[in-house]
Amino acid sequence: MCLSVFNHRPGHDWPLLLVANRDEFRDRPTETMHWWAADTAQANPILAGRDQLAGGTWLGVDRTGRLAMLTNIRPGYVGRTGQRSRGELPLAFLRESHSIETFHQMIRPQITDYAGFNLVLFDKQGLFWFSSDHPDGQWLSEGTHALSNDAINTPWPKVSQARDQMVSHHKKLEITPWQPADLTNLPILTDPVTRNDNQLPDTGVPLDWERRLSAQTITGDRYGTRCRTWLALHGSGHIQVAEAQLRSDGSQIEPGVFTWQTSP
């Protein structure tokens, strides 16, 4: 997952809204979003896509509305691999019922086992972010936050654009039930335009890759934005989650929508 934007408003009718893009090589085998069978009798059911190569995920939600979302970090980590797959981290949070604080303290001594990562966690306590570069983490304030492949709210053009898009269009997510057209026509994280060279960050990849990765929706036959996910949590406990696969030209296949009710 390489670009996401959150609208976090504790106490609001819609306390959490999310839109997220996953960018990946197109030949990396992946299962689309589905409910995973519990691996033990005690494990929480998880709604997520699956990376078939390493077995993990980039974004998942459980039945209670807890969420975990992962991105990698490029600056300082290009070409570096970890002893363990980063995709384990969202699963480790969602499979158990630990609080965010407990989970964070459990993972913190193991951070160097993974290549560079950001992890955003959400439960009834709030929205929390920590990373390889910021192991202490922080509770995110009320408002709109965006994340790509550096620290939270790093002002890369596509990240700042994502925050502006959520501010302008969040009310289009605040409806139930969603219809596929509501999401297909939602202009959040959909811009395929690349940036001028003077706007590009220097993250350690070649310049032609910096250009390609500067778009919100990355097109191309070899690498690109593979899926887009939307989430809306209502204060009543009603959750809507949808995922759409994207073609190599950036166009969306009609999304599948999941809905369920948790405790408020």
Predicted local distance difference test score (pLDDT) of residue 79:
87
CB–CB of 5/165 below 8 Å? yes
CB–CB of 18/229 below 8 Å? yes
Cα 112 to the chain's mean position, in Å? 21
Per-residue pLDDT of 4-45, as tens digits, reads 999 999 999 999 999 999 999 999 999 999 999 866 555 788
CB–CB of 146/159 below 8 Å? yes
Predicted local distance difference test score (pLDDT) of residue 44:
81
Report how many domains make up the chain.
1
Per-residue pLDDT of 96-122, as tens digits, reads 889 999 999 999 999 999 999 999 999
Predicted local distance difference test score (pLDDT) of residue 41:
58
**Residue 182 belongs to what H/E stretch?**
helix 180-184
* pLDDT tens for the chain, residues 1 to 264: 699 999 999 999 999 999 999 999 999 999 999 999 866 555 788 999 999 999 999 999 999 999 999 999 999 999 888 999 999 999 999 998 899 999 999 999 999 999 999 999 999 999 999 999 999 999 999 999 999 999 999 999 999 999 999 999 999 999 999 988 899 899 999 999 999 999 999 999 999 999 999 999 999 999 999 999 999 999 999 999 999 999 999 999 999 999 999 976
Predicted local distance difference test score (pLDDT) of residue 64:
94
SS3 171: helix
Predicted local distance difference test score (pLDDT) of residue 115:
96
Rounded CA-CA distance 187/166 in Å is 9
B/e letters for 12-42, b = 16+ CB within 10 Å, e = fewer, are eebbbbbbbbbbbeeeeebeebeebeeeeee
Q: Please compute, for residue 249, the number of CA atoms within 13 A of its CA located in the half-sphere on the CB side.
A: 2
Instruction: Give 50's strand partners.
Output: 31
The three-state DSSP-derived secondary structure of 70-110 is: EEECCCCCCCCCCCECCCHHHHHHHHCCCCHHHHHHHHHHH
The three-state DSSP-derived secondary structure of 124-163 is: CCEEEEEECCCCCCEECCCEEEEECCCCCCCCCHHHHHHH
Structural domain boundaries enclosing 184: 3-261
Name the CA dihedral angle for 45, 96, 102, 263, rounded to a multiple of 10 degrees.
40
CB–CB of 72/82 below 8 Å? no
53: CATH: 3.60.60.10
Closest CA to 30 of 55, 47, 61, 4: 55
Predicted local distance difference test score (pLDDT) of residue 263:
73
CB–CB of 146/6 below 8 Å? yes
Closest CA to 46 of 60, 57, 30: 60
Rounded CA-CA distance 53/49 in Å is 12
Predicted local distance difference test score (pLDDT) of residue 8:
98
Closest CA to 257 of 21, 34, 10: 34
